[in-house]
Structure 1
Amino acid sequence: MIIYEFKCKGKDKQYKAIDDAIRTSQFIQNKCLRYWMDNKDKKVDKYALNKHCAVLATEFMIADELNSMARQSAAERAWSAIARFYDNCKKKVKGKKGFPKFKKYCRSVEYKTSGWALSNNSKTITFRDKKGIGTLKLKGTYDLNYYDIKQIKRVRLVRRADGYYVQFAIDIDLKVETQRHMLQRGEPAQRSGLPTGQVVGIDLGLKYFIADNKGNVEPSPKFYRKSEKQLNRANRKKSKKYDKARKKAKKPQSTNYQKARNRYARKHLRVSRQRKEYCKRLAYSVIQSNDLVAYEDLNVKGLLRNRHLAKSISDVGWSTFRAWLEYFGHKYGKVTVAVPPYNTSQNCSNCGNKVKKSLSTRTHVCPHCGYVADRDMNASINILKLGLSTVGHTGTYAWGDLPSWAVGASLLSNGESGNQESPGFLRE
């Protein structure tokens, strides 16, 4: 499954119709969640929620206006949250189990195989339900004519700060045939396409984004930190236009406030895209240079509870990097191994003894064998050793789970590619 994204162009009334469809999808999702909460004794499952969509369509006119498969997609989003809660309970995850919550700010609506139609040249798309979205122009460089229309399994309309987008989920085999497979069949292969014979262990950090066992480091770009002054200035301008009296009277804020809010959101969107592109390019480079990549299986959610480091951890985007690393590893037939990070920074990579050190200590000095190395390089060597010892008997992924991007055909409700700071689809 791969996602192609296009910016869509239309009229103001069409954008309002898209907003109405998004609100309706959110309404159905919340109604399905309420139905599950009120009928827990009846063991409500995914199919019961899909049937409940038809009931909602007869009771509410706004639900009837939305395409039937779009209603089912909204129900599937609700079930996705419920299933995740059940799964966390079965696994006895520590702390909160993620009880499903009602959605307040949805940004997308998802159609399946009906309710939309592409033009012959794939430059426009028409939505056929009763919401009145109509025909939208698609702006992008991808060629949808290369794929059979039956391969498009989902179409999603996404609202962002800088406009509206259409995403196409296309069912194709992601794996690229490597030169190694060609050699195994006896076919000629170029020298540049041969396996590298290289393995690498990667330590993720704040000072350096990554440090490997060979001594190579990549400095952290700190996109948010560099843009923080501009973001704070835009936020102050937005706050000055906020009217508390309107809030108490339950009236919408002024047009100037909405404009300032949009300017602020666009600046955040730019930082998010910078981080994503950086992680994507770096992950691609690492995968192309190595046949096996070992990295830490960090609990990013847990680390974000540290109020002193939460901003810096969110800024580096470890989960985004990992998601792209696993994606490119799967696509190009490279081995990616997530290893437990416990004591990788404390243990000596030379003799194996534990050498306690604080976060401020950046040099590893072993009193047992006298080995001296940079803290991150020492950790990356330990990570590589763990990766090599793991991959032989558990496969590509250390815990035996699917990679973070391989979550099935359903897209996330926030309209973004997923990771732990949120997992889902990635757009190439």
Structure 2
Amino acid sequence: MIVLEFKLKGKAEQYRIIDDMIRTAQFVRNKALRHWVDNQGVKLVDLYKQCAIMAKEFEGAGKLNSMARQAMAQRAIFAIQRFFANCQTKKPGKKGYPQFKKHSRSVEYKTSGWKLSTDKRCLTFTDGFAAGTFRLLGSRDLHFSAPTEIKRIRVVRRADGYYAQFCINIERKEEPVSTGKTIGIDVGLNHFYTDSDGETVPNPRYLRQSEKALKRLQKRVCRKKKGSKSRKKAINKLGRKHLKVSRQRKDFAIKTALCVVKYNDFVACEDLQVRNMVKNHKLAKSISDAAWSQFAEWLEYFGKVYSKTVIAVPPQYTSQECSNCGNIVKKTLSTRTHICGCGTILDRDHNAGRNILAKGLKARAGINLNTVGHTGIHAGGQNDLYSLVATKQR
């Protein structure tokens, strides 16, 4: 599956109709979840039936396309399944009990309720809301995709406008070019990553760069009267700035991961539990700004596309163990140089990168490392459909 994204160009009245569509989709999803809460053990088929009942009872739900209502029921059942899966695996902390949505920003259509123009540059919604026709703005081309290959359309509201994401049933494959190189990657905060050859990529710190502007915009929001138009404008400006930072971070993660995969046949990285690491409130902002999880996801994705091997190894002792002799050299976080009794003197992250590569090569050879998670797997694990958008968000 690939996802192509376009910006929707329409009139102000059409955008207000899309807002109504999103609110109705949120209502359907919450009602489906309420039905599950009141009737434990219901299945997806039962929620589909409940959607048909809602269409008769509520006028707004009746306007929404039937498959769009079913997509909202799927969202509810996925949240329920994820909760039970976390309980079965005994995930530490909160298990993610399904919550009612208050501020949804998207609505999904399957194969009906919409229509593409003959030149595939316009999108028309044909359900009861009658939002009309929108121009599709973007650099991608839908002419290479047959209508039957488009399995789903997702309409997303962002701070800078409305977007349509086309989920296309195409397996993306690129011609692999063998380089014969292997690499181990140690991510960090001083440098975004340091590899096993000692090469470093600087950490861009996009959030830190925009922090002053964000604080200034946040102050403007606080000074405005609640409910006023000026406050809404200030909130929109703040949202646009946050959106720009997130896009910069994502663009950097995509391009960096692509370069790593294209120029190496084998990539070993750390299987970091970022969710636990951000509990350290002194480093949480910097860790979130670095976007290590996003980088790892794109490494796996491009590994599958280019038929390269990407292995995630456990990070334990990669910084403490000597990459030359294997002895443990205790270090604090402030100690940035690895000095071992065997005479090895390396940068701390360079030493860790060499250890990560060694662990990855052992995992590829099939040696049992008593590890968990993604260790020893070939890239290509299934990721959330919309977290791996195949185009840069515009």
TM above 0.5, one fold?
A: yes
Out of 383, 387, 394, which is 1:406 matched to?
383
Q: 1:87 to 1:222 in 2, by over 3 A?
A: same
Say whether 1:373 aligns with 2:351.
no
Out of 240, 244, 255, which is 1:266 matched to?
240
Q: How far 1:346 sits from its partner (Å)? A: 1.4
Say whether 1:29 aligns with 2:6.
no
Q: How far 1:399 sits from its partner (Å)? A: 6.1
Aligned to 1:341: 315
Aligned to 2:370: none
Q: How far 1:406 sits from its partner (Å)? A: 3.3
TM-score computed with the length of structure 2 as normaliser: 0.95
Out of 237, 240, 257, which is 2:231 matched to?
257
Q: 339-348 or 61-70: which moved more?
A: 339-348
Aligned partners of 1:293 and 1:337 also within 8 Å: yes
**For 1:379 and 1:6, how far apart are their aligned partners in 2?**
41
Aligned to 1:190: none
Aligned partners of 1:391 and 1:398 also within 8 Å: no
Q: How do 1:112-261 residues align onto structure 2 when only pairs under 5 Å count?
A: 112-178=110-176, 193=177, 195-243=178-226, 253-261=227-235
What SS does the corresponding residue of 1:314 show, helix, strand or coil? helix
**For 2:172 and 2:366, how far apart are their aligned partners in 1?**
25
**For 2:56 and 2:324, how far apart are their aligned partners in 1?**
70
Aligned to 1:64: 62
Which ranges in structure 1 are unaligned for 5 or more consecutive residues?
179-192, 244-252, 412-416, 419-423
Aligned partners of 2:301 and 2:379 also within 8 Å: no
Aligned partners of 2:303 and 2:379 also within 8 Å: no
Q: How do 1:268-417 residues align onto structure 2 when only pairs under 5 Å count?
A: 268-367=242-341, 369-393=342-366, 397-398=374-375, 400=377, 403=380, 406-407=383-384, 411=385, 417=386
Q: How far 1:427 sits from its partner (Å)? A: 3.2
Identical pairs, percent? 51
**For 2:379 and 2:174, how far apart are their aligned partners in 1?**
19
**For 2:65 and 2:181, how far apart are their aligned partners in 1?**
51
Q: 1:15-43, CA deviations, whole angstroms, 9 ceiling, x for partnerless residues? A: 00100111111111111111111111xx2
**For 1:177 and 1:370, how far apart are their aligned partners in 2?**
43
**For 1:198 and 1:60, how far apart are their aligned partners in 2?**
61
**For 2:298 and 2:316, how far apart are their aligned partners in 1?**
23
Q: 1:336-391, CA deviations, whole angstroms, 9 ceiling, x for partnerless residues? A: 10111112111111122222211111111123x23211110111111111111112
Aligned partners of 1:24 and 1:66 also within 8 Å: yes
2:43 counterpart letter in structure 1: D
2:195 counterpart letter in structure 1: D
2:20 counterpart letter in structure 1: D
Q: How far 1:13 sits from its partner (Å)? A: 1.0
2:149 counterpart letter in structure 1: Q
Aligned partners of 1:405 and 1:426 also within 8 Å: no
Aligned partners of 2:310 and 2:378 also within 8 Å: no
Q: How far 1:404 sits from its partner (Å)? A: 5.9
Q: 1:156-212, CA deviations, whole angstroms, 9 ceiling, x for partnerless residues? A: 11100000111100010112233xxxxxxxxxxxxxx4x100000000101110100
**For 2:107 and 2:169, how far apart are their aligned partners in 1?**
19
4+ runs deviating over 4 angstroms:
399-405
RMSD: 1.7
**For 1:404 and 1:127, how far apart are their aligned partners in 2?**
34
Aligned partners of 2:116 and 2:123 also within 8 Å: yes
What SS does the corresponding residue of 2:119 show, helix, strand or coil? coil
Aligned to 2:72: 74
Q: How far 1:392 sits from its partner (Å)? A: 3.1
Q: 1:3 to 1:92 in 2, by over 3 A?
A: same
TM-score computed with the length of structure 1 as normaliser: 0.87
Aligned partners of 1:336 and 1:397 also within 8 Å: no
Say whether 1:12 aligns with 2:9.
no
Q: 1:399 to 1:69 in 2, by over 3 A?
A: farther
Q: 29-38 or 64-73: which moved more?
A: 29-38
**For 2:346 and 2:157, how far apart are their aligned partners in 1?**
48
Q: How far 1:45 sits from its partner (Å)? A: 2.0
**For 1:401 and 1:104, how far apart are their aligned partners in 2?**
39
Q: How far 1:397 sits from its partner (Å)? A: 4.9
Out of 91, 95, 102, which is 1:93 matched to?
91
Aligned partners of 1:127 and 1:134 also within 8 Å: yes
